[in-house]
Structure 1
Amino acid sequence: MSQRTPFRVAITADAVRPDGTSIHGDLGLERLTNAGVQWHVLPSYENPIPRPHLQGADAVLSLGHINFGEETLAAAPGLKLVARFGAGYDSIDLDACTRAGVLVTNTPAAVRKPLAAAGLTLVLALAHRLLAKDRLTRASRWEDRERHRGSSIDGATLGIVGFGSVGAELARIAAPLGLKLLGNNRSGRHPEADELGVKLVGLEELLVASDYVVLCAALTPETENLIGQRELELMKPSAFLVNIGRGRLVDTDALRAALRRERIAGAGLDVFEPEPLAADDELLQMENVVLSPHSLCWTADFTRDVSASALQAILDVAAGRRPRNLLNPEAWPAAHDAESVQQGDTFSSWPRP
């Protein structure tokens, strides 16, 4: 019986230090070590990853938005898996990965609750003018508080754009507050919509009717600049826009103009284009905007659950098992299913086109 070749994982350096500590907290990398999987953090954060950095890697744990396209994949002929730490995968060319025989996984279930809570946090902060009131209190300007009355929640309409798993969770936690719920997605269907009391409508109808519009959509060529000048003009002057999806869902120049003209009442943004914002960006000075540096959902349960899901995908592939949350199932080599991998096998024969 041949000696098993260790499965090797490269971890992107955008959010992890060389010793494995992370800006997210403890990732639980000892799970890999205890399973005999070797891991190392890439020596630098570069996008795309330089060719020499991927030599010998069986898998990449991608904590940020590293681009994986044909050039990167060609530099890593032994790569079997890209495991995304999070749900978004707009920086990964799925077709190129499939052609190269590289599996891609993400962690949608693990981000569902933290991201939905982040969306509701921004809605409530905007409704209650929390940021303005915080500034008044710190400056001992209590006499100005009458200028910052909050907006209604009970009976208001919450429109969720990109009504999928995160949107459904947002609806679930928002409904008890007395909000009316509208949803929009590409298919016009969702198995939980009726149960949650969500009416699925077209985007224009949602924008016209909603007091709070929350963007949860994935970034695709079809959703880039989904919200531009025309869409902002459809919104009520009293309405708020919240973006917890991707910065490029919104035409930021159009949003700045709408906020400057008070065409909408305000915005809550956890994502931007570009990131980080420039130091002189007008958004930073606007009192009707609540900002977060693409981290509002970073909680202890987020790190625990996302890490567990991403690491399990790595362990599954290392053991020859089909991982969950496989985004390109057609890349799964049937010859390497769980029943066909024998103890002592290596992965040198993993098929690559």
Structure 2
Amino acid sequence: MTYRVGITNDAIDEDGTSVHGDLVLPELEAAGIEWSVIDAHPETDDDLADLDAVYSLGHRGFDASVLAAAPRLRHIARFGAGYDTIDLEACSDAGVIVTNTPDAIRRPLALAALTLVLAVTHNLVQKHAIVVHDRWEDRGRWRGTATDGSTVAIVGFGSVGAELAGMLLGAGFRVIGVNRRGSSAEADRLGVPIVPLDEGLTADVVVLCASLNASTTGMIGAAELAKMKPSAAIVNVGRGALIDQGALTSALQDGTIRAAGLDVFDPEPPAPDDPLLALENVTLAPHALCWTADYTRAVVASANEAIITASRGGVPATVLNPRALEHERWREGAAVSVAGR
């Protein structure tokens, strides 16, 4: 039986051309995998009925009702790290493994966060506007803030947070971490203390690298922003819904905090008339700051490897829900794949 993969059309055209760059789809074809492009936001889930896997380039949702319409499905491969629209428990109950590409995005996303930290501390966007709009008399207004010895709090001290911490320490910043699991080997190695969120909010720059889930949605609201210094900035490279965007806009407007650097929003894209977009003290990117040739190459290699491994009955290295491997659907599908090789 042919192994069929549906690629969501969030970032790809029917011919396989992707905004991310080359997805190396011939690699899948060479492994005997048939691919097609499916709707990222379908009215029904009929398009999943004959698929063995979904290659998710965006945020199509997968819950129990969707999985019920996909009797052959046994693998959802995420391009990137986020999986907030995928119900892992429902996937485990249905015998559908979910994989992502955490190692591939570690350095690119950390570099994107570093870019925003440096942009907000140096007021880069504002200085660009000074030149473009011939407002040289405003140079003193946007001098920038201290960096050497300033404290950066990384909220969500996982692999990306640890990579960012190493970069910031090398640039002369002091780094503290906030992590619900407590300290880690990476934090200990880097000498980064793990502190409660309230203490992290006292930093000069707060960087959000946390994943989005029930406990982190809206974790930064008006009350948390009020605990930050008026001279502080916030950076978000995690998910837009980590922050109450309305509260953030108000805090930036009234001077509760000095600046923000955002690569993610809630919703995405933001409405053209969103007041956040009219503010001078923001640096914004379209959830694509880490999109580089290195990023695409690494993520594609990781995602394709997971898809090919699963198609051959193997277990990919990046399975997020190992309980699914115990399910009859996964075991039977893996046996069929091995037998068909």
**TM-score, normalising length: structure 2:** 0.96
Count of residues paired in the alignment: 338
- CA distance 1:344–1:235, shift in 2 (3 Å): closer
Q: Give, in whole Å, the separation in 2 of the partners of 1:317 and 1:123.
A: 39
Other-structure match for 1:259 = 252
- CA distance 1:103–1:342, shift in 2 (3 Å): closer
Other-structure match for 1:133 = 127
Instruction: Specify which structure has the higher proportion of helix.
Output: 2
Deviations 1:315-353 (A, max 9, x none): 01111111111011011148878xx85887249xxxxxx
AA aligned to 1:325 is T
Q: Which stretch of the first structure deviates more once superposed, 241-250 or 139-148?
A: 139-148
AA aligned to 1:17 is D
Name which of 261, 268, 273 aligns with 2:261. 268
Other-structure match for 1:239 = 232
Give secondary structure in 2 for the equivalent of 1:275. coil
Task: Note the C-alpha offset of 1:169.
Answer: 0.4
Other-structure match for 2:40 = 45
Question: 2:14 aligned with 1:6, yes or no?
Answer: no
Other-structure match for 1:143 = 137
Give secondary structure in 2 for the equivalent of 1:171. helix
Give secondary structure in 1 for the equivalent of 2:229. coil
Q: Give, in whole Å, the separation in 1 of the partners of 2:151 and 2:22.
A: 38
Name which of 66, 83, 86 aligns with 2:80. 86
Q: Which stretch of the first structure deviates more once superposed, 135-144 or 121-130?
A: 135-144
Q: Give, in whole Å, the separation in 2 of the partners of 1:309 and 1:88.
A: 14
Other-structure match for 1:104 = 98
Question: 2:212 aligned with 1:219, yes or no?
Answer: yes
Other-structure match for 2:110 = 116
Give secondary structure in 1 for the equivalent of 2:51. coil
Question: 2:284 aligned with 1:291, yes or no?
Answer: yes
AA aligned to 1:151 is T
AA aligned to 1:253 is G
Give secondary structure in 1 for the equivalent of 2:193. strand
Question: 2:152 aligned with 1:158, yes or no?
Answer: yes
- CA distance 1:263–1:75, shift in 2 (3 Å): same
Name which of 185, 189, 196 aligns with 1:195. 189
AA aligned to 2:14 is P
AA aligned to 2:137 is E
Task: Note the C-alpha offset of 1:53.
Answer: 1.0
The runs of 4+ residues in structure 1 deviating greater than 6 Å are: 334-337
Cα pair 2:93 2:327 within 8 Å, conserved: no
Cα pair 2:162 2:187 within 8 Å, conserved: yes
Task: Note the C-alpha offset of 1:253.
Answer: 1.2
Other-structure match for 2:223 = 230
Q: Give, in whole Å, the separation in 2 of the partners of 1:172 and 1:224.
A: 27
Q: Give, in whole Å, the separation in 1 of the partners of 2:327 and 2:284.
A: 46
**Structure 1: which 5+ residue stretches go unaligned?**
348-353
Q: Give, in whole Å, the separation in 1 of the partners of 2:80 and 2:54.
A: 14
Cα pair 2:313 2:337 within 8 Å, conserved: no
Task: Note the C-alpha offset of 1:143.
Answer: 2.0
Q: Give, in whole Å, the separation in 1 of the partners of 2:224 and 2:183.
A: 22
Other-structure match for 2:63 = 69
Deviations 1:247-272 (A, max 9, x none): 11001111111001011010001111
Task: Note the C-alpha offset of 1:34.
Answer: 0.9
Other-structure match for 1:15 = 11
Task: Note the C-alpha offset of 1:51.
Answer: 2.3
Question: 2:27 aligned with 1:35, yes or no?
Answer: no
Q: Give, in whole Å, the separation in 1 of the partners of 2:102 and 2:30.
A: 25
Q: Give, in whole Å, the separation in 1 of the partners of 2:275 and 2:286.
A: 16
Task: Note the C-alpha offset of 1:25.
Answer: 0.5
Give secondary structure in 2 for the equivalent of 1:199. coil
- CA distance 1:333–1:345, shift in 2 (3 Å): farther
Other-structure match for 1:350 = none
**Structure 2: which 5+ residue stretches go unaligned?**
none
AA aligned to 1:321 is G
Deviations 1:122-164 (A, max 9, x none): 0101111110110110112212211110111111001000111
Name which of 294, 300, 323 aligns with 2:293. 300
Q: Give, in whole Å, the separation in 2 of the partners of 1:97 and 1:276.
A: 28
AA aligned to 2:294 is D
- CA distance 1:57–1:136, shift in 2 (3 Å): same
Deviations 1:281-335 (A, max 9, x none): 1111101000111111111111111111111111011111111110110111488
Task: Note the C-alpha offset of 1:189.
Answer: 1.4
Let me know the Cα RMSD of the aligned residues: 1.7
